[in-house]
Homo-oligomer: A and B are copies of this chain.
Amino acid sequence: MVRYSVLDRSFAALSDPTRRQLLERLANGPATMSELAQPFEITLPGLMKHVRILEEAHLVITEKHGRTRQCRLGAEHLDDAAHWIQTYQRRWERRLDRLGDFLTKQQKGARR
């Protein structure tokens, strides 16, 4: 059996447009399953499948309140995904800056 890291699960969960829309909705506040389903042309089992994938990635937390299930954003692991991207972006930007400096020096040298 393959073991998936939280980062694998987070990015895989974010790769689906319906799941991203569910997170966009939950960024405005918690919602019950039926409130979540409303704007989508989706069956309840279809929605539950998406919510389960988001839950497994810790991007969504669900809690049973009586007969309804409340969903809210689990923002912590969204941080992990953002952090991963930012680390490599910054490293890349520093490289581009160094390349820029190098090219500027080369140009100055060529003008002499």
Which residues of A are interface residues toward B (Cβ below 8 A)? 5, 7-12, 14-17, 20, 23-24, 27-29, 73, 75, 78-79, 81-82, 84-86, 88-89, 91-93, 95-96
Give the residues in chain B near A8, CB-CB below 8 Å: 15-17
Identical subunits present: 2
Residue from A16, A84, A88, A93 whose CB has the most chain B CB atoms within 10 Å? A88
Dominant secondary structure at the A interface: helix
Nearest-CB residue, chain B, relative to A96 = B75
Give the residues in chain B near A10, CB-CB below 8 Å: 15
Chain B nearest CB: distance from A97 CB in Å?
A: 12
Chain B nearest CB: distance from A11 CB in Å?
A: 4
